[in-house]
Chains A and B, each alone.
Chain A
Amino acid sequence: MAKPKFAIYWAASCGGCEIGFLDIKEKILDFDAAAELVFCPCLMDTKYSDVEAMADEEIDVTLFNGGIRNEENLHLAHLLRRKSKVLVAFGSCATEGCIPGLANLSTREDIMDYVYRRSPSVAPGNTVLPQLETETPFGKLTLPAIHENLRTLGQVVDVDYFMPGCPPVEEQIWAVVEAILSGKLPPKGSLVGVNPKTVCDECPRTKDVKKVKAFRRPHLVSLREIDPEICLLEQGLLCNGPAIHAGCGALCPRVNLGCRGCYGPAAGIQDVGAKLAGAIASVIDSDNPAEIDGIVDQILDPVGTFYRFNLAGSFVGRRVR
């Protein structure tokens, strides 16, 4: 029997999902024995024209990482949807927008204006901006248009499975690959590569023992003040754990830093910010509304903290004028 064909593609991404995939270590040899990688620009020389030439659904499984930021990303999303039997939104960007989704807090014009005009290192007085078409003495050069906002894969094409994580951790990647190879796939539309419940359920720290009078920033609390055994949120250190899907093994709290949410909203949570507001309210040691307001005001960047990974995929989704 022919080996199943896999593709790993990156749209507006960082390459971390590819490195995460390599982190399955020696199992890469098992993967090589059981499957054929036919397209992965990070690691092999298959070109877009080679993919265009494939029959529809010739690729068995595409692990698609990165968000949809420009015309090239969009084209590849449609192309790979057509060429793949199973399309997996692989990692936080494709699933919910991830950190590049924070760009939706700005307009495309703001971004272009900063990068090519206001940045302190750009040539003073520069008026040149990248153009979709440039005529050179010998021919025309084209660039894909940058979209107004970053979208998730599921916002532009039909997606079979969603796998969160920035990047997904090696154990989850291998578990999903094994499930695919053995044909044990859950119903279409499922979240895969996660564990039940929330990050708190995987966190070794103890909860429900303390209430806080203040929220503090991690670098402004001395290391001797941080109790290694107790919930960070209950020590006044912001942690998104209560709202975030289990799956990573609570990696960040294990090194004394709060979760920022790269595994996305836990099951049943519609809005991470709303859920966290509840969790935060529950640890505040006060009944006085004015005092509570004062304590909550110590959270300096609620949008950038609560929606760090899921802004593009959230209800809000982008800057609202």
Chain B
Amino acid sequence: MTTITIDPITRLEGHGKISIFLDDAGNVADAYLQIPELRGFEQFCIGRPVEEMPRITTRICGVCPEAHMMAAAKACDAVYHCELPRTAKLLRELLYIVFFVTDHSTHFYALGGPDFVMGPTAPKAQRNILGVIHKVGVEIGKKVIGMRGACHDIIKQMGGKSVHPIGALPGGMSKGMTKEEQAAILAKGKEAVEFAKFSIGLFNSLVLENKEYVDLILSDSFTHRTYNMGLVDAKNRVNFYDGDVRVTGPDGAELAKFKPADYLDHIVEHVETWSYLKFPFLKNVGWKGLVDGPDSGIYKATPLSRLNVSESMATPLANEEHDRMYKTLGGKPVHQTLATHWARLIELLYAAERWVELASDPEVTGPDYRIVPDKTPDEGVAVVEAPRGTLFHHYKTDEKGLLREANLIVGTTNNNGAINLSVKKAAQGFIKNGQVDDGLLNIVEMAFRAYDPCFGCATHALGRAPLRVSVHDHRGEMIKDLRR
């Protein structure tokens, strides 16, 4: 028995290790993707004022802090039972959609894309963003860097910081928008639409016109028939910021559509001894182990899942591209994991178009970008779509709004079961008769990379701290004895 480990897995956010067991013939008997860490967020959030949660939970993930800020702020709104002014909602969704443009672009160009641009078995020193820039040319490199930079500048302008923004708080945003800022952001949004179209063009020429890649995408080694989950608007269209959670089966039929507050009726988390990361599954289907199919509660929550659970996209160009993908791949739902890259670019186009819509709205510069909550805080659940899956924040507070309990199910955690299925199947498909090399192992890594996983997010993990601090002034005299 031989064990192959890939440690660490790379071009993702966070830590992970793949262990592959070969049988005596050198074929894959089993494979696991293990998550080696846990940081304890849920425990240490207890006792914190709820309005600080948007500023604390961002540190779960520096790649998608905006997702945690928005989920936390929406959960705060729910805790305080407050309804936001329209301007506040527009500002939040605008910041969030700008974030999606940078995040999905980062994945395509820096994390997942190098496998296609450079080739899955290219030398490992070249399979990265710098390799991509060297290959496609510095002009395209500058275009990508420019778009990412513009998005981060807007996030900083609207939310205070470009990484770990802070602007969302219970009842709205901490800062409004001027007409000058609006005009500049709108102009940038139009550039973002062109950038998204350009990126899809690149995907067409680099991937879809390459038979080898298309065969890889369509191969059984990268296919799993699981349930799908995603947030939809009232017309069952993809929405990242708000809506109901819809779950459809391996056959595409709706299994459930539920309000965020009802998530515990639908999702349960299973624990395995070999990973610190839990395995969420659909409560009404059940945990059957790491298997796919209609009897297994394992589901995916990815860009492809969001398209699979929706009827259409809410913007015209993205919807055309949506129709083209499903026509090409044989209709809904699509179960080919690598098609997630295509779905992500369709979402990039949707995000750019939605950016223009939101930035064009005259009310985005309105004066009422925040209200003061007037009800007693108690409990609230909120959901947003993080780029890498459905994100749940659930808080319970005392009557002052201090956290008593927090529960988080994050984008990538949803996909833990499915990612393990995908890694094992890809390993079984490509490692044969003991033949293993760096290129083949990278193809196995492509199985998780399609999910754009964020194991930093997934390993967030809360207590009352009986800590006492005596505070002294600069003369050394105790002026306060602080304790919780």
Contacts and interface: CB of A to CB of B under 8 A. Distances in A.
Given A43-B11, A115-B42, A123 B60 contact: no
Interface string B101-138: 00000100011000000000000110111100100001
Contacts of A120: 264, 394, 405, 407
Say which size band chain B's interface belongs to: 35 or more
A130 B461 CA distance: 13
Nearest to B454: A15
Interface stretch (B44-52, B198-206, B207-215, B428-436): B44-52
A111 B373 contact: no
Contact of B8 (A48, A107, A170): A48
A141 B162 contact: no
Interface stretch (B145-153, B180-188, B322-330): B145-153
A29 to B, nearest CB: 7
Contact of A47 (B7, B52, B148, B171): B7
Contacts of B47: 105, 301, 304
Contacts of A146: 37-38, 276
Contacts of A13: 62, 456
A121 B287 CA distance: 14
B25 interface: no
A277 B274 contact: no
B107 to A, nearest CB: 12
B480 A134 contact: no
B48 A301 contact: yes
A107 to B, nearest CB: 7
Interface string A26-48: 10110010000100011111111
Contacts of A130: 271-276
Interface in A147-178: 150, 166-167, 170
B141 interface: yes
Contacts of A12: 37, 39
A137 B354 CA distance: 50
A123 B161 contact: no
A72 B52 CA distance: 31
A98 B37 contact: no
Contacts of A218: 51, 169, 174
Nearest to A303: B467
A219 B169 contact: yes
Given A122-B269, A278-B473, A304 B48 contact: yes
Contacts of B479: 277-278, 281, 292
Contacts of B234: none
Nearest to B267: A121
Contacts of A254: 160
B167 A14 contact: no
Interface string A123-137: 100101111001011
B89 interface: no
Contacts, number: 336
A70 B36 contact: yes
A123 B74 CA distance: 26
Contacts of B402: 300-301
Contact of A301 (B38, B76, B484): B484
Interface in B53-67: 55-56, 58-63, 65
A252 interface: yes
A139 interface: yes
Given A138-B29, A255-B175, A111 B170 contact: no
Interface of chain A, helix or strand or loop or mixed?
Answer: mixed
Contacts of B128: 43-45
A32 B10 contact: no
B390 to A, nearest CB: 13
Given A166-B59, A301-B402, A139 B21 contact: yes
Interface string A68-89: 0110110000000000000000
Interface in B1-59: 1, 3, 6-15, 19, 21, 23, 29-30, 32, 34, 36-44, 47-49, 51-52, 55-56, 58-59
A107 B463 contact: yes
A60 interface: no
B318 interface: no
Contact of B59 (A16, A138, A150): A16
Contacts of B125: 44-45
B372 A222 contact: yes
Given A105-B44, A144-B36, A42 B11 contact: yes
B421 to A, nearest CB: 16
A46 B10 contact: yes
A119 B407 contact: yes
A26 B145 contact: yes
Interface in A233-287: 251-252, 254-257, 260, 262, 273-278, 281
A251 B163 CA distance: 11
A70 B30 contact: no
A16 B51 contact: no
A44 B274 contact: no
B164 interface: yes
B166 interface: yes
A274 B476 CA distance: 9
A179 interface: no
Contacts of A210: none
Q: What 7 pairs across the A-B complex have the smallest Cβ distances?
A: A16-B62, A277-B471, A105-B465, A255-B160, A106-B463, A138-B21, A111-B40
13 contacts: A15-B14, A29-B142, A43-B128, A69-B38, A103-B40, A105-B463, A111-B38, A111-B40, A150-B39, A219-B169, A219-B171, A221-B372, A276-B471
Given A106-B43, A115-B42, A141-B32, 5 more contacts: A26-B146, A69-B39, A72-B15, A114-B463, A219-B373
Interface of B: 1, 3, 6-15, 19, 21, 23, 29-30, 32, 34, 36-44, 47-49, 51-52, 55-56, 58-63, 65, 76, 106, 110-111, 124-125, 127-130, 133, 138, 141-142, 145-146, 148-149, 152, 156, 159-164, 166-167, 169-171, 174-176, 263-264, 267-276, 278, 280, 287, 369-373, 394, 400-402, 405, 407, 409, 442, 445, 454, 456, 461-463, 465-469, 471-474, 479-480, 482, 484
